[in-house]
Structure 1
Amino acid sequence: MGSVAGFSYKTSWLAVRNRTPSEVADALELQDRKILDWATGTDRAYQRGVYVATPVPGWTLAHGRLHLPTGFDATEPPFPGWLRQLSRHLGEVQFFANERVPDYHAWARARHGELLRGYCFNGKRGEVPLFVGTPTADEIELGVGLRGMEPGWERWSDDEWTAWYETTPSESDVMAMAGRWSTDPSAIDDATVTEGGIYGLPPSVSDTS
């Protein structure tokens, strides 16, 4: 069965401004590297590992459903430090994630070691475990990511919960945010991606294939 080109939903990815795939792969410490075409690399990164490519001018994308990051996700305490550290090496680094089930949606932007904005919604638990910085103009215009777990949320009325939920995102909102901040991967014309990218495994993932 042939590979399906591209990626978008049910995964996580980084968008890195004006860096080469090699620089991004080095920052992620990817091992067992292979040069793969766009279709094969993105398909494989849905299963394991990370695929790094430059499908659009000015942005290098690193995609990995299970291993970006490895061992935790944007709902957990290590995430902000991980993104800050990457941005110390790479400059501007953006993170996006969307999973319809279990309703996990996130976006974050760091630059030169500073986490400028971070938002994550965990629909399974009905909470916002990550809320760093103030909502950007893009979030305000889309009407999503505007509220975290504010003081006194335990005593919210049904109406207050309804108003709060109206600001929580769907997977399509994640794609819209990616398009505004950098690039929406679902909108990439796969036929234009003619150069191969770098596929590899993070240090904690062994190559058992």
Structure 2
Amino acid sequence: MAGFGYKTSWLAVRDRTPDQVADALDLRDRRVLDWADGTDRAYRHGVYVTASVPGWTLAHGRVHIPAGFDATEPPFADWLTELSRYLGEVQFFANERVPDYHAWARALDGELLRAYCYVGERDEVSLFLGDPTADEIEFDIGIRDREPGWEHWSDEQWDVWFDTTPSESDVMAMAGRWSVDPTMIDDVAVTVTGIYGLPPSVCGE
């Protein structure tokens, strides 16, 4: 197994320790785990905060990043913004092959700079906050929201819009540009342990 990133969600936090990230997420029932065990658990339940890679600490949880909602729902923007008040720069990434759910967002010091989420099952952009970044423009992904009157778009207009909707690999490309592409991390090379725990809303499940 190489890293993580597909069919899951994670945070990338700049220049913070695993303890600081775990504290900001208020993780309970903490355990010290190695990369392989922590990653495996986080795919099923809870959150694994990794040992820092150069400049970044990652917090991975398929179900519980964030806990109780996802990037399509109203609490998401406030949740990420509040985290950034404590942690500085916080980035969020998510992708699920089914139902084709892809998202990325970036907040800094209590300000949400950019957030995008596409849900293919509903053929909609459910989150489009802030201006597209230079990386999105270069990759030609996530740069178009649905404009007023989209219900009457021609086939050509739909094709132009669909061409800018992301795939799983596009989420990894954005992560690599903004911070770290976790699929490129060699599991064997990570020898420092991280922190596994549960957010308060699910502690004791």
TM value normalised by structure 2 = 0.97
Find out whether 1:38 has 2:35 as its counterpart.
Answer: yes
Counterpart of 2:64 in structure 1 is: 67
Residue 105 (structure 2) pairs with residue 112 (structure 1): no
Contact 1:120 1:131 survives alignment (8 Å):
yes
Which residue number in structure 2 is paired with residue 78 of structure 1? 75
Structure-1 residue corresponding to 2:96? 99
Letter in 2 for 1:113: G
Report the 3-state secondary structure (helix = DSSP H, G, I; strand = E; otherwise coil) of the residue aligned with 1:86. Answer: helix
**Which deviations, in whole Å up to 9, do the C-alpha atoms of 1:48-83 show, x marking residues without a partner?**
000001351110000000010011100111110000
Matched, 1:149 2:146: yes
**What residue is the counterpart of 2:157 in the other structure?**
160
Q: Is 1:7 the equivalent of 2:4?
A: yes
Provide the C-alpha distance between the structure 1 equivalents of 2:5 and 2:60, rounded to a whole number of angstroms: 9
Cα RMSD (Å) of the superposition? 1.0
Once residues 37 and 3 of structure 2 are traced to their aligned partners in structure 1, the CA distance between those partners, rounded to angstroms, is: 9
Off by >6 Å, runs of 4+ in structure 1? none
Unpaired stretches in structure 1, ≥5 consecutive residues? none
Percentage of pairs with the same residue: 73
Residue 87 of structure 1 corresponds to which residue in structure 2? 84
- Offset of residue 164 of structure 1: 0.3
Q: Distance in 1 between matches of 2:72 and 2:193?
A: 32
Asked if the contact 1:117–1:132 (Cα under 8 Å) also holds between the matched residues in 2, the reply is yes
**AA at the equivalent of 1:85:** E
TM-score by length of 1: 0.96
Inter-partner Cα distance in structure 1 for 2:2 and 2:40: 7
Aligned amino acid, residue 63 of structure 1: H
CA distance in 2, matches of 1:149, 1:33: 43
**Cα separation, 1, equivalents of 2:138 and 2:2:** 31
| 1:206 shift after superposition | 2.9
* Equivalent AA in structure 2 for residue 109 of structure 1: R
Q: How many residues align?
A: 205
Per the TM alignment, residue 161 of structure 1 is displaced from its structure 2 partner at its CA by 0.9
Aligned partner of residue 73 in structure 1, secondary structure: coil
Distance in 1, matches of 2:135 and 2:199, equals 32
Separation in 2, partners of 1:155, 1:205: 44
